[in-house]
Structure 1
């Protein structure tokens, strides 16, 4: 769908910001561009919507050269989310979201319906937030509006330039999880720029590592971790993250045994209080025999707090899940299909014994590598 062919960006002073880059991004794929400052990652992304014109080569969308398209129309058909959010302070939230649909000549009723749909999608009650102004929202709420605005005209491609970089760690993790959930539903083609390798590993279907304008390697997180193509890639990812013989490790070695559990009839207020006390983003719903029933996220809970009487009403399926007899390799393979990046681990009686996340995988494999180096 999106293709770079021998693309370079050369400035008048002779500086080559992007040097002969070649890659393709499939429809519905989330690709992360990452590298040190000055590596060309943001420039590469901004050349897609011609915010920065490329010097040589071809960038095409569905086979059409972007330089042959009207620049304004191209940008209206590509969603764009930035770190500074960029909301118009004198516009209401509703008007901020509706800007592009209005420019494209949408009917007023269709715009109103779309605004309501998007606010609900990003976890903001439209009846509460649509008439507020950006200054009345927290940073995380503003960034949610930024995501909603990028989705407003139903673009096939979305560009995200370090969108969560300025947020506190808890809000950042919440929005990362929200983006994963949205992407599972919408299957947009997303180009995401970040300087945070943990964020890249969590979000990316594939990760493109850049240095001094060159694209060194673009691969799945698992392949980058296991088969770095260059010494710089290995160093940039961090040797501690390199996967060594995961098929020889039990899933018990890569799971977190501390699991926040609840019976299905617990109230949303008490459940959220438990999460805050234990600093957990998820609660596992079990029956009286500790057998797995489902998962409830803090995001879903806060969104539906006033609409439910018990957490059973909003719990997600426990699939996929792992058996405690399986290997770490099974967890790595299964992670790409896991809801919100979490896999429950069950014993032979289907009782919950732990949770595997990308974080626990990397932490456990990191420890293994450190021990091997020490020996």
Structure 2
């Protein structure tokens, strides 16, 4: 799908932002580019659609040199999502999404159907949102529109430049989960730039770590954590981390024992206050004996805020969950089945004793420090 061969980028002042990098991205792959500020990750991504022309080397898209494409047509054929979202404030949501299909000559009926389809896909009712303007939407809703617009002309490739970094933790976690689901459903090739290692570990099929314009390592999250190929990679992920065999590691060794819980009779206003105070996205709901009853998502509470009296009205089953006798391998297998990106851990009486989250699973497995390492 995408191939870089000895690609470099040198600016007019002589600064070399990218230094002869070579790698491939497969069809349908979710590749994350990560590194410190100035590492060349964003420049690398922008060279794909020639927003930044490369100085030397070759970038192939489906076997064709991207320099042989018309630049405008190339950019219209590749979805692009940025941190600032970039919606046109004087256009309705429908018109914002329709921009690229209109430029490509789609007929109005096709465009209308596509806009409605994409709004449904990103969880926004077209009857409610199509004729609104960006200023009438929350930050999370605007970013959903940004994703819908990137998908509008059904591109095979989508570039995403730190799309969630400006969002609050609740919205960010929710959109990360939704993007993972969308990727599995649509099988698009996604190149995603971030500076957040937890986000990279959560999102990427593979992760490319860059520094000073060089590609230091491109591997799966597990391989990066287990076999860092460079001293900087080890430092960037977390020096002295080790990974134990997940089949042998008890889930109680990787779970967080700090679990934010609530009784089902809590009002939605108090539930939201607790969620925001603790910077979480979901509440574990328990009875008076701390026995697991279910999960309430912040999104459902916000959506139903004016229609419910207590949070048990939007209570969802806590499935899957793990018993405290389970292993880390059980958590890894079950995480793909979890719609919340987290798994409650309970004892034999079904009392909540901990929590495993999608974002923390890999890093928790890799952060078993020995006393000697701490001493160093």
For residues 346-373 of structure 1, give each alpha carbon's deviation from its aligned partner in whole angstroms, at most 9, with x where no partner exists.
Answer: 6568776543113443564466316452
Is contact 1:275–1:281 with CA below 8 Å preserved after alignment?
no
The match for 2:361 is 361
For residues 132-191 of structure 1, give each alpha carbon's deviation from its aligned partner in whole angstroms, at most 9, with x where no partner exists.
Answer: 222232322222211111111111111001112222333322322222232232222110
Question: What secondary structure, in the 3-state scheme, does the structure 2 residue paired with 1:368 have?
Answer: coil
For residues 177-235 of structure 1, give each alpha carbon's deviation from its aligned partner in whole angstroms, at most 9, with x where no partner exists.
Answer: 22223223222211011111122112111110001111100111121111111000011
Task: Give yes or no for the alignment of 1:318 onto 2:319.
Answer: yes
The match for 1:85 is 85
For these two proteins, the number of residue pairs brought into alignment is 370
What is the TM-score normalised by the length of structure 2? Answer: 0.83
Q: How does 1:5-16 map to 2 (within 5 A)?
A: 5-16=5-16
The match for 2:204 is 204
TM-align CA RMSD: 3.4
Give distance in 2, aligned partners of 1:331 and 1:366.
15
Give distance in 2, aligned partners of 1:296 and 1:143.
23
Q: How does 1:67-146 map to 2 (within 5 A)?
A: 67-146=67-146
Q: How does 1:218-297 map to 2 (within 5 A)?
A: 218-239=218-239, 242-244=242-244, 246-257=246-257, 258=259, 260=261, 274=271, 276-278=273-275, 279=278, 280-283=280-283, 297=297
Question: What secondary structure, in the 3-state scheme, does the structure 1 residue paired with 2:223 have?
Answer: helix
Give distance in 1, aligned partners of 2:164 and 2:176.
8
The Cα shift of 1:262 comes to: 7.7
Structure 1 alignment gaps of length 5 or more:
none
Q: Larger deviation: 182-191 or 299-308?
A: 299-308
For residues 305-350 of structure 1, give each alpha carbon's deviation from its aligned partner in whole angstroms, at most 9, with x where no partner exists.
Answer: 799999899958935x545333224434654665453234465687
The Cα shift of 1:32 comes to: 0.7
Give distance in 1, aligned partners of 2:210 and 2:133.
38
For residues 65-119 of structure 1, give each alpha carbon's deviation from its aligned partner in whole angstroms, at most 9, with x where no partner exists.
Answer: 2222222222111110111211112211111111011111222122122222222
Q: Larger deviation: 271-280 or 108-117?
A: 271-280
Give distance in 2, aligned partners of 1:228 and 1:367.
14
Is contact 1:3–1:23 with CA below 8 Å preserved after alignment?
yes
Structure 2 alignment gaps of length 5 or more:
none
Q: Larger deviation: 345-354 or 235-244?
A: 345-354
The match for 1:43 is 43
Cα 1:229–1:55 change in 2 (3 A) is same
For residues 229-253 of structure 1, give each alpha carbon's deviation from its aligned partner in whole angstroms, at most 9, with x where no partner exists.
Answer: 1000011112265434555431012
Is contact 1:241–1:362 with CA below 8 Å preserved after alignment?
no
Give distance in 1, aligned partners of 2:370 and 2:269.
37
Cα 1:123–1:305 change in 2 (3 A) is farther
What is the TM-score normalised by the length of structure 1? Answer: 0.83
Cα 1:162–1:363 change in 2 (3 A) is closer
The Cα shift of 1:43 comes to: 0.8
Question: What secondary structure, in the 3-state scheme, does the structure 1 residue paired with 2:22 have?
Answer: strand
Give distance in 2, aligned partners of 1:130 and 1:261.
36
Cα 1:40–1:337 change in 2 (3 A) is farther
Give distance in 1, aligned partners of 2:237 and 2:82.
24
Question: What secondary structure, in the 3-state scheme, does the structure 1 residue paired with 2:209 have?
Answer: strand
